[in-house]
Amino acid sequence: MTVCWYLRLATSSAALLLAALAPSLAREPEPPADAPAQSIAVKRKAEYEKAMAECTEAIRLKPQFALAYCGRGCAYSDQGELAKAIADQTEAIRLDSELAVAYYHRGSAYEKEGQTAKAKQDFDQAKNLGYKPD
């Protein structure tokens, strides 16, 4: 399971730095199909909490680290904490207005909240900056 998206940005020195600081964000294999659902949920919740804590630590060590805010925002969004996700993506954009992926993920959080106009604006900006989602 991928907790955060940004490890795909292997050419980014910021991503490499955060990857070194946050080893739990690496791709992990999916649990076996016969594993009890409750244990899977507990394990995934713990992985997200650890990922968020490690992103927070990266931010503490380097407060201008836009990619760490973006990564933590993705984890918040995946956990349904949309206000925190939007706040972190907004801070990432404030720190680096060219970070297309932050616009995309903020747009996704807005979309989940039903704020379609804001979502479209962010998706358009991400596209204008060259972001192409999978």
The pLDDT, as a whole number, for residue 9 is 36
DSSP code of residue 35: S
What are 9-42's pLDDT values in tens digits? 322 334 445 554 444 444 444 545 555 555 556 6
Measured distance CA(124)–CA(130) in Å, rounded: 10
Residue 60 has pLDDT above 80, yes or no: yes
Residue 34: the pLDDT is 54
Q: Which fold has domain 6-28+35-128?
A: 1.25.40
Structure-token match 């690496």, residue found = 26
User: pTM for this structure?
Assistant: 0.71
pLDDT confidence band for 8 (50 / 70 / 90): very low
Sign of CA dihedral 5, 8, 12, 16: positive
